[in-house]
Structure 1
Amino acid sequence: MSSSQRSSNLALHVAMFPFLAGGHQIPFLQLSNKLAQRGHRVSFLLTNKTKLKFEPYNLYPNLITFIPLTVPHTDGLPLGTETMADVSRSMAPLFLKVIDKMSDQVDAVLRDLKPNIVFYDFFHWIPSLARPLGAIPIFYTILDPVAFAYLFLPVRELQLPKGENLDETLLLQPPPGFPDSSIYLHLHEARESLEFYKEFISGMTTVEFLRKCVKECDAWCFRTCREIDGAFSDCLETHYEKQIVLAGPVIDFPPASSTLEERWTNWLDGFKTGSVVYCAFGSECVLEKDKFQELLLGFEMTGLPFLVALKPPFGAETVEEALPEGFQERVEGRGVVYGGWVQQQLILRHPSVGCFISHCGSSSLWEALVNECQLVLLPQGTELFVSARRISTYLKAGVEIERREEDGWFNRESVFKAIKMVMDEDSKVGTEIRANKTKWKDFLSQESLDSSYIDNLVLKLQDLVD
């Protein structure tokens, strides 16, 4: 019997420990469903709060077991903090220190589970717990290869004269060896990205922290396919000298039994096909009030129906109290602003939705790429700037909202302009973007594509264990 034949018969037990944030946990759960679909057992480490939230999305409860962890309280964090959604972005370093204190708890769980493989992200100490148990540590990052390659290639620092620090001018352009010169940063984006090179936690910068995650793993896995990110994953494999495995797009189509909440179905059914603008920025993004209002006023200018699902902006308890004066009355019947969680995948699949304004989170972009809606991009921070460029300049499958170069400010007119560009049938640029978006939707929606990547990933994992 050949090695590949032996491997194909090996049932895996995989432990999953993503960073405690929705944007990290959801891709891990989607991959877990794919592995369980093929008969492999998954132990998923999470917190009590997210256990309840994610149970409906565990499609194989006989094979995927949620293992709840207790997040200890620490002064400086809100009482009951369990995920990044409970804290501000500035509290991330303190929250990470709290999770580091959970290493003994995680160690005890892994010793009890005895998995073959441990998938992790953002916890460079996981490999030291996994290896003594004979488990293979896999770094599964939600960052796109293009963002990791642009921002974190070691060659960036080699450009610097001895004793000099990196400044924003070097980040404006890609590093030497980067595969595509069309991807770049604006001045305000480069300035914000400099935060990666400042102390983040335990005396390490974010760059050093992530590089340590790479260094400690046995293999590195990305949620993408070679057809989109092959050149960038090859670049990373060369520079970091680590085996990289691509999991494919990991398209987690909602089960046939899933139904959109009746209130959203009834509202969306009232509009013609492809006419509704939908906007959502994930579970953690919070806008400044002036930007929140400017965005809404841009939607109002389009004259199109719109559904906005955003958290209340800074300084507001509810979205209602933050609305522009007279806004609710002016858009009554065609505009809804909601401050809670919505079933995004099902909303994007509704035939009335024609445009999606995204903050460029990884999961949101993949969900958008496999649906009919057009993409308007308003990246909200650091690595998401590069992810936006990947869609707008590399794939040419979406359009970015224009922003002021020095500080990133956008206005209602730029929101209006971007939406009209992708929605207007007479727009030459929009025609090209729509054609490219349709091409990638048709390609990525092939079940055979998703299956072939997952099957190949399983074989690679089995070879690592065998």
Structure 2
Amino acid sequence: MNCFREESNEPHFVLVPLAAQGHLIPMVDIGRILAERGVCVRLIITPANADRIKPIIERTKEANLSIEFVELSFPNVKFGLPPGCESVENIPDLSLFRPFFEAIYSLDEPLEAFLGSLERPPDCMITDMCNGWTGPIARKFGIPRVIFHGPSCFYISTDYNLGCHKVYDSVNDENEYVTVPDFPIKLEVTKAQTPGFFNNPLFEDMRKKCLEEESTADGVMINTFLELEQLFIENYEKKIGKRVWTMGPICLYEKDFEMKVGRGNTEAIDQRHRVLTWLNSRDAASVLYISFGSIAFTNPQQLMEIGNALEASNKPFIWVIKKKEMNPEIEKWITAGFEERTKDRGLIIVGWAPQMIILSHPAVGGFITHCGWNSMLEAISMGVPMITWPRFADQFVNEKLVVEFLRIGVSLGVKDTNYGTEDVVLVKSDDVSKAISALMDGGIEATARRQRSKYFSEKAKKAIEEGGSSYINLTDFIHSFSKPEARYQMKNRY
């Protein structure tokens, strides 16, 4: 029997991710996890994004999972966007950010038409927090709606508390430190480092919409686990008066090697044999992995500073450089001597890397990261300590969680928000070298940091096992939206 048909008793959920790799990847993972637990899942996606995760879609079909990827045409031309620009990291110019999100918000009509064509309405809609446009649609069809937050709960609770107390209303200097009110620990941040989402006059209407729709949601889902962020989960849940389901680390649910390789982008598949062969030849915990996510751009001068530090460190390394960063200047610098001098211990990947395969390999002993939550949680799950280099959005607060609270990271001391478009060098090679040495060269602090990383990795793996905190939360979440009476009880729980 088709589980999507009206007579089916199986729960039916619709997932609406934000069109950005860091948001899409965990939402796709959530869809597959729910389908494996007997939920009928429909995941809303656009054609270009579907093409990027084609191997995942094909493997899902092979596994006979009840998950359907529903493609909604993306209106590039109508909003002046180039062909194929269907994800945040593909936006070629800052001036196109507003048109891009207007295009996303225009998906309300095709989504409404799709839901109206179904034999039975979904039992639940899981929607990215940035997709405030989905709220009215869910209400029209009487669908309970749960907000998915991509960042850490540490960041979400920080942002929520700052907003509730309107802390920044009286702050004129964006670099002035303020204390986060009603927070479980003393935390000092600046407005420049915690701007919140859509924090630009051009996006004020969208920000207002998202906040309003978050307040009317039936609950919140976060990719984290209780043992990592319990203080902050409890703080946030108390503040919003809604159920918060922590279901992570989502990256650990995937056991299929091929799915791990192709997670997020088909490009990674082409790299797998090269990467694994190289890693298999290295000693345990000897390799440093360097990657700055899908959005942050690193200018040529800064890339060369990083390269000089890697060369000076004398450590084996895997360095991911984006295609858009590999301009003639960098190509010339690499081929003019850097590649030759480091060929016996360095591997450069241009484009998308199979990150989970790399981080889970026993040869990897450290990770220089931009502090995006997906990357950080993957490293935590694998017990890999980090060197932190935040750029924007939630990343500076994520850094504080990892460096100051969990104490499994070494900070490079970057204080300024940077999208990489500025022709400046924020971190000199000497500072990168010092951080590499602190992380990788041993000593009492480095050993303790590595032990703590291993501790949280073990807790992460137990959380998703049967009887673990995230496993129990997932079961409760499915039950809460599976039957009308269960949904009623959940709504009246608070």
TM-score bracket for the superposition, by shorter chain length: 0.7 to 0.9
Quote how far apart the aligned CAs of 1:352 are. 1.7
Which residue identity does 2:437 align to in structure 1? K
Contact 2:193 2:417 in 1 (8 A): no
**Structure 1 counterpart of 2:280, one-letter code:** D
Deviations 1:353-411 (A, max 9, x none): 22121111121112111214332221221311101111111111222223367989211
Contact 1:225 1:247 in 2 (8 A): yes
The one of 250, 263, 271 equivalent to 2:282 is 271
SS at match of 1:221: strand
Equivalent residue, structure 1, for 2:192? 191
Aligned pairs (5 A) from 1:130-141: 130-141=138-149
Q: Which residue of 2 aligns with 1:6?
A: none
Cα distance in structure 2, aligned partners of 1:248 and 1:175: 26
| Residue matched to 1:168 | 174
The residue that corresponds to 2:74 in the other structure is 71
Q: How far, CA to CA, are the matches of 2:366 and 2:162 in structure 1?
A: 38
Taking structure 1 as the reference length, what is the TM-score of the superposition? Answer: 0.87
Task: String of CA shifts for 1:136-170, please: whole Å, max 9, x gaps.
Answer: 11111102221122233255654477xx5654255
Structure 2: where are the runs of 5+ without partners? 1-7, 262-270, 419-424, 490-494
Moved more, 306-315 or 38-47: 306-315
Question: Quick check: 2:196–2:394 contact (8 Å CA) kept in 1?
Answer: no
1:357 to 2:368 alignment = yes
Number of the residue aligned with 2:211:
211
Equivalence for 2:91: 87
Candidates 111, 116, 122, aligned match of 2:123: 116
Alignment coverage as a number of residue pairs: 449
Compared CA separation, residues 405 and 12, structure 1 to 2 (3 A): closer
1:75 offset after TM fit, Å?
Answer: 4.8
Paired amino acid for 1:400 = S
**AA in 1 matched with 2:230:** G
Q: SS of 2:43's equivalent?
A: strand
Deviation at 1:345, TM superposition (A): 0.8
- Provide, for residues 206-230 of structure 1, a one-character-per-residue CA deviation record: whole Å limited to 9, x for no partner: 4x45423412322122112222223
Q: What is the SS of the residue equivalent to 2:188?
A: coil
Q: 1:10-47, CA deviations, whole angstroms, 9 ceiling, x for partnerless residues?
A: 63111111100110011111111211111111101111
Structure 1 residues 317-376: Cα deviation after superposition (integer angstroms, max 9, x where no partner): 796356496322221222122221121111112222221211111211121112143322
Matched, 1:39 2:50: no
Paired with 1:400 and 1:293, the residues of 2 have a C-alpha distance of 20
Q: How does 1:43-442 map to 2 (within 5 A)?
A: 43-58=42-57, 60-61=60-61, 62-73=65-76, 74-88=78-92, 90=94, 91-113=96-118, 114-121=121-128, 122-153=130-161, 157-159=165-167, 164=170, 167-168=173-174, 172-181=177-186, 183-185=187-189, 190-194=191-195, 198-201=199-202, 203-204=204-205, 206=207, 208-258=208-258, 261-312=272-323, 316=327, 320-321=331-332, 323=334, 326-403=337-414, 409-425=426-442, 427-442=443-458
Distance 2:146 2:437 in 1: 43
Secondary structure at the aligned position of 1:337 is classed as strand
Query: Deviation at 1:197?
Result: 7.7
Question: Following TM superposition, by how much is the alpha carbon of 1:105 offset from its aligned partner in structure 2, in angstroms?
Answer: 0.8
Q: Does 1:444 align with 2:467?
A: no
> Secondary structure at 1:168's aligned position in 2?
coil
Pick closer, same or farther for the CA change 1:10–1:109 going to 2, 3 Å.
Answer: same
Distance in 1, Cα, partners of 2:337 & 2:321: 19
In structure 1, what residue type is equivalent to 2:91?
A: V
TM-score when scaled to structure 2?
0.83
The aligned counterpart of 2:28 is 29
SS at match of 2:353: coil
Q: In the TM superposition, what whole-angstrom CA distance separates every residue of 1:63-100 from its partner, at most 9, and x where no partner exists?
A: 11111111112454323211112114733332111111
Change (3 A) 1:193 1:451: closer
Per-residue deviation, residues 229-253 of structure 1 (Å, max 9, x unmatched): 2322332233333332222322434
In structure 1, the gaps of 5 or more residues are: 1-8
Return closer, same or farther for 1:89/1:34 CA change in 2, 3 Å cut-off: farther
1:57 alignment partner, SS class: helix
Worse-matched range after superposition: 359-368 or 384-393 = 359-368
Which AA in structure 2 matches 1:376?
A: I
- Structure 2: distance between partners of 1:290 and 1:397: 29
Structure 1: how far apart are the matches of 2:21 and 2:56? 13
> Partners in 2 of 1:96 and 1:17 — Cα distance?
14
Retained in 1: the 8 A contact 2:390–2:414? Answer: no
Equivalent of residue 455 in structure 1, options 467, 470, 475:
475
Distance 1:231 1:373, change over 3 A: closer
Go from structure 1 to structure 2 and tell me whether the alpha carbon gap of 1:213 and 1:279 turns closer, same or farther (over 3 Å shift). farther
The Cα of 1:194 is off from its aligned counterpart by 4.1
Of all paired residues, the percent bearing the same amino acid is: 22
Measured in 2, the distance between the counterparts of 1:460 and 1:397 equals 35
Change (3 A) 1:205 1:96: closer
